[in-house]
Structure 1
């Protein structure tokens, strides 16, 4: 149900849906021009202002590529992983490949409102995909997407409110990326001796893996992937990219912490300072030898250049690496403290980003369905079950 002043329409009723094309790769004169050319890899819930590839006027003329105006909404009809169903907005005139659906609104409808709505419907749109060997979207399916359409003034107001969250999210993402880059630079400087503390004068030495790290696996504390729980008494840490992979109710836990967890297949490196159950597959538990301060040992290992062998095991490669380290443990502790402070800043920004995204998601669920109304100029806001916006 939607408010009385809203109507439900199919996307094809309020917009034209078309797609682009790819000029022949064998014709060099078709490529490298001044016309932006979008692929689905660039359709990622943002505004596109530049593209990785460009085509020439001849390339556009000799293919099915079309020049779409600024504010056209693009939707990925197929692509790798999570790409299918993602949307983006053109901030420039651009062409696209044939995997992008270009949605051009008719007059009287807000492209910003549509952009927000299609983002909110991402999972549902993916579920509309054609069956068969490949789950792809098509122009026909996209035309059938239903959407609630409020009066234009309300569309605009809703879009303005959600855009405020978008700006906050984008700002936080930039701050997070900057902090991550700064930490990377700090690691390169501090963990190689390029940058040292004024009072640090002790020598740096080179030692192999076996001199600096001890392998401390304990099979009786491990949990196989088939026994992971969504909820449980204790966390499971395995070789995956996330810190906590699941939970267990077992009382057989790894308690001699802190430790470093190394992903034998994935090369993931984690600092674990709480009791846990290690994953049974490819989870290697390491501790620092007496030559290294524990937290410094984690950062030193994180900065190691471990060759990527795909899903092969990497412990053999790790054991062949020589590490350069300061012999003074006070210097090790200072390095670890600086990098821990950087990690804390990154974690704080990530938490802020996650909170903003959750807030926006909650707002979208309310505003884009009419469950929560917004104040328009010279109008009273409808009574809503939660606090007023606008």
Structure 2
């Protein structure tokens, strides 16, 4: 089996070398070999130590996807197909299924596809939803989801409980532990997800559920997204808000550029371009110039680079307290916020600052929110009520 895989891989690489071309379809087929071989090795090892295991290639057991190579989406038909195969095999002959992560089969082409970033977690949550399991565990190299990036601040702590809403915001705004799409099947199936650390199995990790007790919660986590490009767009024509915003966003749609954080008024809009959505192709200066050129037909545009988004993920009911404390920290540190946005989800408040000030801000926020008694501020004699 294994020698056959290596032979196929060699043939594929020879073909690529001869053609001097690597299409997205070929790239996905090439990327699939690592998973297919490592799962076979792992299943063989488990069987050798008398733990009965069976290897599966996701594209053979019902993972049906769009034909969008390198970033395919799982189709609804996957759930019954995967359930039928895994459950059927288990009934006939119980063995631990070892399934390849982030792979699928394009529904039209029948070719191997990959699920993009977070694809292995998505494979796990898809199987969890398909089988209606009681819990899905995702094993990482950190003690669960943390209060901030430990590389920026060593006092980051694990967050014991999260809601799916909070997890999605954290993932979207750059926390590397989870990917927003990977949580969707678990959320739809209402299955708890536990994030654990392979290097520290005794750590309790983070449990993600539909709802959690928010009575003591203020801030959950601080996420930093650096090297962000910000655009300040002010209308030069007397378009009403609808006409102006519609035109601005149609330009981004035409150029297939994702927008991240937005703040608007009647005749102006400030926004950041989302670097995580451009992970597969670099947004080079030429492309930025093109965006500005198009926008300048209807507006005065200021392009501001080297900015950072600091996202404060926290309790909706305490957003005023979070803002009050955040601005106190910024004032103390002499930092001017260039833009602020509180999204419709409300669990997230995003602040835009200069890259050069960002890490200092994260450390200061962490000290203020996680290393001092915030709730003392809320319930103290001077506060009057619980929602300041």
Q: Same fold (TM over 0.5)?
A: no
Structure with max Cα Rg: 1
Name the structure, 1 or 2, with higher relative contact order (CA <8 Å, separation 6+).
Answer: 1
Taking structure 2 as the reference length, the TM-score comes to 0.25
Of Structure 1 and Structure 2, which has the larger fraction of its residues in helix?
A: 2
Given the two structures, how large is their TM-score scaled by the length of structure 1? 0.25
